[in-house]
Amino acid sequence: GGELPGAWVFVHEHAPQGQKNTYIGFLTASVVSGILLGSLVYMGIYMVFDKPVVEDWAWRVAFGLGGIFGIISV
């Protein structure tokens, strides 16, 4: 539970003077965007597949998407 406050402190300490608030805002927007994206993926999976299918195998779709985004980000 302490990752975000720790990230705020780290970014604040390393951001250039005069741009600290911009960097903190970008970090916060990135976190909120990630939460929104995760919620949309969850909702999309349940809209496309029936609940038994999701419980059987379709839950892996989210992990596949995460792997693709992970490869792209590296």
| pLDDT tens digits, one per residue of 4-34 | 999 999 999 999 999 999 999 999 999 999 9
Q: What is the mean pLDDT of the chain?
A: 96
Domain that holds residue 51: 3-73
DSSP string, the chain: --HHHHHHHHHHHHSPTT-HHHHHHHHHHHHHHHHHHHHHHHHHHHHHS-HHHIIIIITHHHHHHHHHHHHHH-
Tell me the percentage of the chain whose pLDDT exceeds 70: 100
Global confidence as pTM = 0.78
- Confidence (pLDDT) at 1: 80
User: 60-73 vs 20-48: helix axis angle to the nearest 10?
Assistant: 150
Q: How many domains does the chain have?
A: 1
